[in-house]
Amino acid sequence: MTRTLAVVALMSLTAFMPAASVCAPTAAGRHGGAVAAADASPYNVGPLLHPSKKYFGVSRPKAPHSMEPVLDWAQKVGKQPNLIVYYAGWGDGFDASGTRNAWNSGAMTVVSWEPRGTTLTRIADGASDSYLREYAKAVRRLNIPIAISFADEMNGDWEEWGTTETTPQEYVRAWRHVHDVFEAAGATNVIWTWSPNIVRPGTHNDLSPLYPGDAYVDWVGLIGYFTDWDPHSFDGLFGTTLTEIARFSRKPLLLLETAAMPGRHRAQDVRALFHGVTASPDLVGFAWFDHKARADWRLDASPEGAAEFRRLSADDLYGFDVRRVR
């Protein structure tokens, strides 16, 4: 699904001063090696990978470059999100100011990076290395934790990098190359988020050939929506995919992009979402796609669903200030 989004999860409407960087991994990254020369040690993202509470995220137009949509949404749901997902095109510069805006409010950004206008083979062969190095250096300079979801929904046929345009081997090769360029630049303050679309209920797709490997992935970020034609239960919608991923990965899981169609089922679907995330120790949280795109996924589109969302999000399990996680 094509979007330009933002996902936020914060603890309060009050802005805080940025937390001090914590000494982190060595220059080959979190897994060892020598640290790249820099003014400060890279931020240690390890504690953020599987915190004790759940991420409570949202994606809204113009966020996080502008935080007004986030504050507006927080007032409606009664809680600040602490995860903001936004979408970037290939060739776009790193939104350092937006990332800082989110961080100063207690939220981390997720960049869904869409490599349109090129091919995964060209990326893997180094054709974009100059761009990647500059991007990685900007991420390292800011030294705030971010998550990057590169070329998501790769298991579908609707994206330029999807199943009809490339092979799993080329996808994995491109992913690893992008990751390695960041590691070489010392940009180890990134949470690498591999984000397939959910496997349709009642079917089976082998996702393992598309998996870059545990050394290259920190989170598995699922993309899936409650629709009128899918099951209105968490296990019915996500169960097949969770079972498939468990065959080859034990990484923490994030519902990177989710929502429910408006209408008579939305309140039920919202309950299913919260109950499913709450019940799963492997799921670190979710981000609600609060946009009108092909369907009206905005919470405002369903008063009953919005009321249920506000009620369930009041649970203290959801939301925390990401800067205070150590």
Residue 180 belongs to some domain of the structure = yes
What distance in Å separates the CA atoms of residue 200 and residue 55, rounded to the nearest whole number?
25
Strand partners, 55: 285
Take residue 64 and report the two structure tokens written for it. Answer: 């996080």
**Do the beta carbons of residue 97 and residue 29 sit within 8 Å?**
no
Our answer to whether residue 308 is catalytic in this structure is no
Q: What pLDDT does residue 61 have?
A: 96
- Residue at token pair 């050939």: 209
Work out the burial of residue 23: count CB atoms within 10 Å of its CB; fewer than 13 is exposed, 13-18 middle, 19 or more buried. exposed
- Structural domain span for residue 62: 46-324
Amino acid in the structure at residue 229: W
pLDDT in tens, 265-322: 999 999 999 999 999 999 999 999 999 998 999 999 999 999 999 999 999 999 999 9
pLDDT at 4 over 50: no
pLDDT at 21 over 50: no
pLDDT at 36 over 60: no
What distance in Å separates the CA atoms of residue 241 and residue 182, rounded to the nearest whole number?
29
Q: What pLDDT does residue 203 have?
A: 77
Take residue 198 and report the two structure tokens written for it. Answer: 């959910």
Q: What pLDDT does residue 142 have?
A: 97
Where residue 281 sits, what CATH number does that domain have? 3.20.20.80
Residue 247 belongs to some domain of the structure = yes
**Do the beta carbons of residue 200 and residue 189 sit within 8 Å?**
no
- Sign of torsion, CA 222 8 185 133? positive
Residue 14 belongs to some domain of the structure = no
- Residue at token pair 């705030």: 144
The mean pLDDT value of the chain amounts to 89
pLDDT in tens, 189-215: 999 999 999 998 777 789 999 999 999
Residue 102 belongs to some domain of the structure = yes
Residue 5 belongs to some domain of the structure = no
E-assigned strand segments in 141-299? 146-150, 190-194, 219-223, 253-258, 283-289, 292-293, 295-296
Our answer to whether residue 257 is catalytic in this structure is yes
Q: What pLDDT does residue 39 have?
A: 63
pLDDT at 10 over 50: no
Residue 26 belongs to some domain of the structure = no
Vertex 19: Cα angle to 193 and 139 (nearest 5): 40
For residue 253, how far is the Cα from the chain centroid? 10
Average pLDDT in the 56-77 region?
Answer: 97
Q: What pLDDT does residue 201 have?
A: 75
Q: What pLDDT does residue 326 have?
A: 84
pLDDT at 26 over 60: no
pLDDT in tens, 69-102: 999 999 999 999 999 999 999 999 999 999 999 9
Query: Catalytic residue among 114, 170, 244, 257, which?
Result: 257
Residue 175 belongs to some domain of the structure = yes
**Enclosing H/E stretch for 34:** none
Helices in 143-214 by DSSP H: which ranges? 168-184
Q: Is the pTM of this model over 0.85?
A: yes
What distance in Å separates the CA atoms of residue 298 and residue 123, rounded to the nearest whole number?
35
Query: Catalytic residue among 153, 159, 183, 308, which?
Result: 153
Residue 17 belongs to some domain of the structure = no
Average pLDDT in the 38-50 region?
Answer: 89
pLDDT at 11 over 70: no
Count of domains forming the chain: 1
Tell me what percent of the residues of the chain surpass a pLDDT of 70: 88
Cis peptide before 64 (omega within 30 of 0): yes
